[in-house]
Amino acid sequence: MLDWEQIFATRSSRMRASEIRELLKLLDQPDIISFAGGIPDPALFPDAAFKEAYSDIFSSAQVGSALQYSVSEGYKPLREWIARDVAKIGIDCTPDNVFITSGSQQALDYLGKLFLSPKDTALVTWPTYLGALSAFNAYEPNYDQLSLNGNRTPEAYRDTAAKTGGAVKFAYLSADFSNPTGETIDLAGREKLLALADELDIAILEDAAYQHLRYDGEAIPPIMALDIARKGGIENTRTIYSGSFSKTLAPGLRVGFVVAAMPVIRKLVLMKQAADLHSSTINQIAIEHVASRGFDAQVAKIKAVYSKRRDAMLAALDKYMPKNTTWTRPEGGMFVWVTLPEGMDGAELLAKSIATEKVAFVPGKAFYADGSNANTLRMSFSCADEAMIDEGIKRLGRLISNAIRAAA
Q: Which is nearer to ligand PLP, 101 or 325 (CB)?
A: 101
Of the candidates 104, 144, 149, the one whose C-alpha atom is nearest the C-alpha of residue 124 is: 144
Report if residue 104 touches ligand PLP, rule: CB under 6 A: yes
Please classify residue 322 by burial: count the beta carbons closer than 10 Å to its beta carbon, then call 0-12 exposed, 13-18 middle and 19+ buried.
Answer: middle
How far, in Å, are 48, 86, 135, 254, 333 from residue 212 at the CA level? 21, 11, 24, 17, 8
Smallest gap from Cβ 85 to ligand PLP, in A, equals: 15
Among 209, 240, 362, 369, binds ligand PLP (CB under 6 A): 209
DSSP 258: E
DSSP states along 61-111? TTHHHHTS---TT--HHHHHHHHHHHHTTT----GGGEEEESHHHHHHHHH
**Mask 37-56, x = binds ligand PLP (CB under 6 A)?**
-x------------------
The answer to whether residue 184 forms part of the interface with ligand PLP (CB under 6 A) is no
Q: Which of 40, 46, 103, 166 binds ligand PLP (CB under 6 A)?
A: 103
CB 237 within 8 A of CB 272: no
Window contacting ligand PLP (CB under 6 A); options: 5-13, 99-107, 288-296, 387-395: 99-107
Site for ligand PLP in 64-93 (CB under 6 A): none
Pick the closer one to ligand PLP by CB: 291 or 403: 291
Smallest distance from ligand PLP to CB 3, Å? 34
Distances in Å between the alpha carbon of 97 and those of 104, 198, 310?
16, 21, 35
246 interacts with ligand PLP by CB under 6 A: yes
Q: How far is the CB of 226 from ligand PLP (least distance, A)?
A: 20
Contact 248, 212 (CB under 8 A): yes
Cα distance between residue 2 and residue 186, in whole Å: 53
CA 35 from chain centre, in angstroms, equals 17
How near is the Cβ of 399 to ligand PLP at its closest, in Å?
26
What is the four-CA torsion angle of 360, 243, 246, 28, rounded to 10 degrees? -20
- Residue 251 near ligand PLP by CB under 6 A: yes
Q: Shortest Cβ distance from residue 341 to ligand PLP (Å)?
A: 27
Enumerate residues 336-365 that contact ligand PLP by CB under 6 A: none
Q: Which of 131, 221, 322, 341 binds ligand PLP (CB under 6 A)?
A: 131
State yes or no: residue 129 binds ligand PLP (CB under 6 A): yes
Among positions 256, 332, 392, 397, the unique one binding ligand PLP when judged by CB under 6 A: 256
Q: Is 32 exposed, middle or buried (0-12, 13-18, 19+ CB in 10 A)?
A: middle
Q: How far is CA 86 from the centre of its chain?
A: 18
207 belongs to the binding site for ligand PLP (CB under 6 A):
yes
Beta strands per DSSP E along 223-281? 239-244, 256-259
Contact flag: residue 298 with ligand PLP (CB under 6 A): no
Residues that bind ligand PLP (CB under 6 A): 38, 103-105, 129, 131, 174, 179, 207, 209, 244, 246, 251, 256
